Structure 1
Amino acid sequence: MRVPFTVLFLAALSAHAAALPGFRVQLLGPTSGFASSIAIDSHNTIYYTTTAGGVFRFSDGMSQLVTHVNTAAIGDSGLLGMALRGDNTAIVHYTTPALTADVVSSIDLTTGAETILHSFVCDKDVPQRPVPSEHHGGNPTVAADGSIFVGIGDYGGWTIASLPDWNGGKIFRLNVDGSVVQFALGFRNPFDMAWDAGNRRLIASDNGELADDEINIVHLGDFCGWPYTMGSAPAIEGAVAPIYVFPNIVAPTGLIAVNGRNRYFQRGYLLGAFVTKAIYYVPDIDARPIPDPIPIIAGVTGSIIDVAQNVNGDVFFVTGNAIYQLIPPQRGDCNGDGRVDAADVAALAQELLDGNPEPAISAQNGAFPGSWGCDVNGDGLIDSRDMRALLSMFRSRAVRSTGGH
């Protein structure tokens, strides 16, 4: 049985607004329709897609249409996602208007011209027959070699996810030579994924029925269990278990491997969520048991559809109707109030009582809920050296304010 949309909608309404100390969001502007993805090129140009088929360039709060693909936004179908392959090409995934195929195309971001790379027939027995609009997956992702990964959901058809000759419930790899490989099977609705080239594996989320939302490490040939098992349900022979199962419904959406250029997100992954309206941080995907993902924000905006980083490491995200930037705490803003002042000395003293040293990403835990800005020297730890660095900041300010006298 699938989860009714009303269940997800009511769960999303019940999400509580919260952000880690010192983190906040800045609204950059509205989208021109219901957004389905966001991507940023090497010049920090923002692009986004809408389920109705639009590919847009976004700048200074304004949207410029690049092109439109032939699709229809019905249920979980439409233009489902995008990834960039270089600065001039977008790779998009969408369903045909009649819901007979999932299409992967390249878009020239200068001219808007579309080139269809592959069309995945939904119903292998009767190719002209439409399938339901639900569970068609989401974003493609592009590997460093230019190959493309795309996940397609089970169309609500359950069993087909385990059948190799059907396209639903699978992840595919489109190679640069035009060949297509079924990379893995047994998925319910994988919205996004990230390719780990060094370990030749995908990090992929999958949307469960209820409290079964997963994070998976996927290798070529893996069967990930659906529809015979999912989440924390008993394992079955031959299925690869998820590395993490969320205890509550989150409805995972956009997923990125961080680029290491943000002082707070040096490694790991950021994951958006529709129901909890959250961005989760997974700092170490190989930790066992894997700790609970850290909710950086939750319920502060509308449901989060996708997440992206620019070349400077700044984090951006898109909801159904707007684009935002995630603003982290300043260095030295230990109490998370947006200022660096004497109150932060007292806050850091309290934080050091919780652990000296302790990981910066644990500052919100313990008796004093400090911000990650307590890591004043930026070494990833909060310890007595940060107190010296904070006091040094104040001494430098005092010298500047007196002109060095």
Structure 2
Amino acid sequence: MSWTRRRLLATAAVAGAGVLVGCDGSSPEVGPTDPTTTEGPSDDPTSDATTGDATTEPSPTAPAEPTRLRVVGTVAEGLTVPWGIAFLPGGGALVSERDTGRIVRVGAAGSVRTVTEVAEAAAAPGTGEGGLLGLALSPDGRGLYAYHSTDDDNRIVRMSWNGRALGRPRVVLDGIPRATIHNGGALAIGPDGLLYASTGDAGDGSNAPDVDSLGGKVLRMRLDGSPAPGNPYDNQVFSSGHRNVEGLAFDGAGRLWASEFGNDAYDELNLIEAGQDYGWPRTEGPTDAGGITGPQAWWPTDAASPAGLAVAHSTAYLGALRGQCVWAVPLAGRRAREPRRRLGGEDLGRIRAVALAPDGLLWVATSNTDGRGDPRDGDDRIVRVRIG
């Protein structure tokens, strides 16, 4: 695989292997390591999660402790199941709402303005976990890609963006299997300038290993939706054997990482490579099965349900729905070290989206209005999180 390498952020090498951890910091079974995964010392007991503004200082380029996270402000409140976050060159971000089909512009100082509504996503009956999902801004900043459900399928569309308004959706790729569960939905533009997308198995495990199906995959394509050069099959499929991937992110060396929902055993953090089979439905969690690529880190399913994913400073940050926290996972090149449970004591509830902002902070979005959570005042909200 030939990728154009570019350094996204300064990274620090660490050593280790994949790990198994529990929601409370315990090790419920014997794993590759014996991790200590408690919250650790208080980051700043005098700091409250108050409303922030556009003058928040950026995080250091290379924090001494990149697994240490601290809420430093609230970006926006009153959202409905925020899912995808695409940062804009001029500041702020476009944010998708899964259940309403809205794309809103969230200003750096907290303003929220509806930009458009993707009618097909909002109107799709029995959407469940589908709807309006991931977003990705085109490299030139003039187009927005969105992943959304319709009556019949999941699809990726492109809308022009002029800095103020979005144009009408134009289909880039359709025919992705949809169901009330396991719709995938993550989008990312790689350092190679190609578009990556994650899809779910749509509740049918047979889709995942079938390389002729777009379900249960990580896809790789040109920006017009056609298969990328060098793909392992004669279509958009890049990797197979996925149950439901909702997070994609590249590290500083151009490696692609994915957060994946398990069934009744283990959730996973996977390093994604061309042509690899990640096991579903044959395996779940660590495995020595032939022809299967196992995860780099894994959790009991009640500890994570990992959704959004960001990578910075050789650390992966996974938003956990059932786990109600952010898992910070140090990365040592192609390997993961022991995860650290963070923000679980901030009373944020279910956490879905995690995105790295241009200023080096994380935007972390709650998902308490999705029918499975306990909404707090102001939910759903996006908070600003300092690394280190």
Aligned pair partner of 1:58 in 95, 106, 110: 106
Contact 2:148 2:156 in 1 (8 A): yes
- Number of the residue aligned with 1:296: 342
Contact 2:311 2:356 in 1 (8 A): no
Q: What runs of 5+ residues in structure 1 fail to find an aligned partner?
A: 1-10, 124-130, 259-265, 329-371, 373-405
The amino acid across from 1:81 in the alignment is G
Alignment of 1:282 onto 2:329: yes
Decide which moves more: 245-254 or 279-288. 279-288
In 2, Cα distance between the equivalents of 1:21 and 1:251?
Answer: 25
Whichever of the two has the greater Rg, that structure is: 1
In 2, Cα distance between the equivalents of 1:218 and 1:235?
Answer: 17
Contact 1:44 1:310 in 2 (8 A): no
In 1, Cα distance between the equivalents of 2:263 and 2:225?
Answer: 34
Task: Map residues 80-119 of structure 1 onto 2, 5 A cutoff.
Answer: 80-86=133-139, 87-96=141-150, 98=151, 100-110=152-162, 111-119=165-173
Q: Write out per-residue CA displacement over residues 138-191 of structure 1, whole angstroms, 9 at most, x where no aligned residue.
A: 220111343111011001111111112221111111213642221011000000
Q: 1:113 to 1:58 in 2, by over 3 A?
A: same
Contact 1:31 1:323 in 2 (8 A): no
Alignment of 1:76 onto 2:135: no
Task: Map residues 5-404 of structure 1 onto 2, 5 A cutoff.
Answer: 21-22=42-43, 23-51=70-98, 52-59=100-107, 60-69=109-118, 70-72=120-122, 74-86=127-139, 87-96=141-150, 98=151, 100-110=152-162, 111-122=165-176, 131-176=178-223, 178-180=225-227, 181-196=236-251, 198=253, 201-232=255-286, 234-249=287-302, 250-258=304-312, 266-286=313-333, 290-300=336-346, 301-320=348-367, 321-327=380-386
RMSD: 2.5
- Number of the residue aligned with 1:342: none
Contact 1:90 1:108 in 2 (8 A): yes
Q: Under a length normalisation based on structure 1, what TM-score does the superposition of the two structures give?
A: 0.67
Contact 2:307 2:318 in 1 (8 A): yes
Considering fraction of residues, name the structure with more helix.
Answer: 1
In 2, Cα distance between the equivalents of 1:248 and 1:166?
Answer: 26
In 2, Cα distance between the equivalents of 1:19 and 1:40?
Answer: 31
In 1, Cα distance between the equivalents of 2:115 and 2:167?
Answer: 9
User: Structure 1 runs of 4+ off > 6 angstroms?
Assistant: none
Q: What runs of 5+ residues in structure 2 fail to find an aligned partner?
A: 1-22, 25-37, 44-69, 228-235, 368-379
| Offset at residue 33 of structure 1 (A) | 2.1
In 2, Cα distance between the equivalents of 1:197 and 1:82?
Answer: 21
Contact 1:19 1:297 in 2 (8 A): no
The amino acid across from 1:105 in the alignment is V
Query: How many residues are matched?
Result: 296
Q: 1:121 to 1:161 in 2, by over 3 A?
A: same
In 1, Cα distance between the equivalents of 2:226 and 2:41?
Answer: 45
| Offset at residue 305 of structure 1 (A) | 1.2
In 2, Cα distance between the equivalents of 1:49 and 1:18?
Answer: 30
Q: Tell me: higher relative CO, structure 1 or 2? Use CA pairs within 8 A at least 6 residues apart.
A: 2
In 2, Cα distance between the equivalents of 1:291 and 1:79?
Answer: 33
In 1, Cα distance between the equivalents of 2:334 and 2:187?
Answer: 26
